[in-house]
Amino acid sequence: MRTRHTFTSTNSNFKAQLLQWSQQFEEVVWLDSNSHQQQYSTYDVVLAVDAFTCMSTDSHQAFDQLQEYQTITKDWIFGYLTYDLKNDLEQLTSEHADGLEFPELFFFQPKKLFLIKDDVVEMQYLNMVDDEFESDLKDIAALEFCEKEEPSKKVSIQMRLTQEQYVDKVNTMLAHIHRGDIYEANFCHEFYAKQAQLDPLETYTKLNSISKAPFAAFFKNHQHYVLSASPERYLKKIDQKIISQPIKGTATRHKDQLVDDVLKTELQKNPKERSENIMIVDLVRNDLSRTAKKGSVSVEELCGLYTFEQVHQLISTITSKVDANIPPVQILKTTFPMGSMTGAPKISAMEIIEDLEETKRGLYSGSIGYFTPSGDFDFNVIIRSILYNVDKKYVSYSVGSAITSKSDPLKEYEECLIKARAMKEVLEN
């Protein structure tokens, strides 16, 4: 079904040329590790373009439809899961305004696929287009970069909530926590602009150069774009091993190395930040146990400290083993939405989130990733990401933080601004 071509590339511009070449297609998924040496990384870069088949649906029976598509295709498929697929899993709704209007689930089978690890490039083309690989390589190599004569127009970003409104809503959430309705919930709010005109590739390139995140993604489906600098993995399957790596716990970076080291140490020892992380670890352990072999759920790393361009983060790694006969989509279905973007208990947290947030999350706090022909998969968490609908001229990014009994609403608000910094800088020049 696919023909493979493998070669070694020492061209330092090859990645940039490849991404630029991909823009001619209506369906694009670009996944870039930015050379982060993650323990469970398989590829440095993956590019999938040009749909041969695809599926797009709302939340009704979405996971069943995805399982059918994945089973019938038995090939590489790439796509996304929006947060609102929660409505397929529980008696929940999403009634808020939606300026982006993304389909709630979308996957496609690419005609052309590039897998890069170190200097080795593997091209996997469907047989119907295999005679194009040589001309494609020539076209990619011929691409040259030149500075745009005019910089992109500044996008004037609005906040969905004022600081006062945000604090009031967090206080309401704290009342739920003190009453015992929930232990923790991730409360998010939107930054947006109407009548926005972006160059998606230029915007992604700038965002990626600032953030250099390990789960960065450029996604295009006709008029819908995702420009992601995500630092977080949602879920990965390697054979019968499942890996989840939730992020909870954030501290800003500082240019002074001594001050930055102090901030790292304070984060690692901060009881509030650690408790956020540990609560979500417990939730993930419970989610994974629904498909795991008995006794196989394990916490490989608890509250590990990781440093990114703008922030320090606490990341935990939880793993499990599953039987080979469990459908891969079932593993996603029993863990979605990810605990780091919901709260504990999960269903109660999602109900309260829906009541307090002002906009439909859509793909924010959802996931982009892929399935392999063997049923392995890898999915990120859509955070630190710009979402854009070209036809609607609507651009949006959202940020959030975990609210616990020890939360200070003003400090949570400040944390959100820190997380929004890179997106704001890119859009407002």
pLDDT at 36: 86
Contact criterion met (CB below 8 Å) for 252 and 311 = yes
Of the candidates 15, 212, 236, 248, the residue annotated as catalytic is: 248
CA distance 46 to 32: 7
pLDDT at 332: 98
In Å, how far are 78, 281, 347, 368 from 175, measured between CA atoms?
A: 41, 23, 17, 34
Q: Mind listing the pLDDT tens digit for each residue in 45-94?
A: 999 999 999 999 999 999 999 999 999 999 999 999 999 999 999 999 99
Domain map (residue ranges) of the chain: 2-428
Annotated catalytic, 232? yes
pLDDT at 147: 61
CATH superfamily of 2-428: Anthranilate synthase (3.60.120.10)
CA distance 229 to 310: 11
pLDDT at 10: 86
Of the candidates 232, 276, 351, 357, the residue annotated as catalytic is: 232
- Residues in the chain where the model's pLDDT stays below 50: none
Give first-to-last CA distance, the chain, whole Å: 45
pLDDT at 146: 65
CA distance 87 to 360: 12
**Given the structure tokens 């190395």, which residue do they identify?**
257
Annotated catalytic, 248? yes
pLDDT at 148: 62
